[in-house]
Structure 1
Amino acid sequence: MSDPKHPAVGDLVIDASDVKVTDITPEQIQKLTKVRDGFEDAVHNLLGLKSEDADRAGLNEKDKARLAAAFARDQRIGELLPAAQKLTELLHETRQTTRHEIATILAENAAQAKRRADRALNGAEVLGPLAPLMDYQYAPANKAAATKEKAKEPKQEG
């Protein structure tokens, strides 16, 4: 594992505490000015400009300082983003496999309880405490059966 401040793709710990993050809406994102490929060359050009050349062009030194800070922030985010994206992917995939495990356990337990209730004299007592589990597990089948029954009903006119 690498340093959390400088994570490698696949690391599970990422420290982006030095980056002031921004949370904006999709509508706000659409209004932002975008950079194009090659903007780095333009940034390096402006940052590497001699003072006399900047003065002759009427460029503001404060803009140069702001550009340097923004570019450094962009570079830092570029360092963090691949590891963060991979971590997000890993978390999503882990959640999917965990939910698969949950679904399998729920299905196995519902089927076991149903088999036990079918053999027991007091089947309702067996299934009663498991009503939320049974409702969850068999809801799609019950809905399909209801739809099938509704389709069999004669159409009423008018």
Structure 2
Amino acid sequence: MGTPKYPEVGDLFIDASDIKVTDITPEQIQKLTKLRDGFEAAVKNLLGLKPEDADRAGLNEKDKERLAAAFARDQRIGELLPASQKLTELLHETRQTTRHEIATILAENAAQAKRRADRVQNGAEVLGPVAPLMDYQYGPANKAAATKEKAKEPKQEV
């Protein structure tokens, strides 16, 4: 188990507060320059140049500093991403199983209310308070049945 600053895959706490995150649109993403595999070697080469070699090539020292900061940020994001992706996966799967539980409870309660309404004289009084539940649970089936009945009707020509 890692720490929030240095999480391991499966940890439920991730602290990325040291990273200034960016939110951009898909259109903006398409316009960004993409790195190819092997860029790390080029970065390390540039960062490892002796000052005299950088001067001889006309390279700017401030670019080297910006590159070092950007590369460190990229490496830090790389440390966080696996744990973050797993946490997102876990949250999604937990939501799916929770929604399954909700759907099961709704179905069981709708069926119980329907059975009770079928057995008593005042069935409308039983179903009235749970009308939104019944509409949710049986609405698609009722709509499908109505569509099926409508399809059976002979077509009238205009």
TM-score with structure 2 setting the length:
0.98
- Does residue 53 of the first structure (1) align with residue 53 of the second (2)? yes
Read off the aligned partner of 1:139 and give its amino acid letter.
G
Query: What runs of 5+ residues in structure 1 fail to find an aligned partner?
Result: none
Read off the aligned partner of 2:68 and give its amino acid letter.
A
Counterpart of 2:11 in 1: which secondary structure? coil
* TM-fit CA distance, 1:154: 1.5
Query: What runs of 5+ residues in structure 2 fail to find an aligned partner?
Result: none
Per-residue CA deviations over 1:55-103 (Å, capped at 9, x if unaligned) read 0000000000000000000000000000000000000000000000000
- Percent identical among aligned pairs is 89
Partner of 1:82: 82
1:126 and 1:10 map into 2 onto residues whose CA distance is 47
Read off the aligned partner of 2:42 and give its amino acid letter.
A
Counterpart of 2:22 in 1: which secondary structure? coil
Partner of 2:91: 91
CA RMSD across the alignment: 0.6
Query: What number of residue pairs does the alignment pair up?
Result: 158
Counterpart of 2:21 in 1: which secondary structure? coil
TM-score with structure 1 setting the length:
0.98
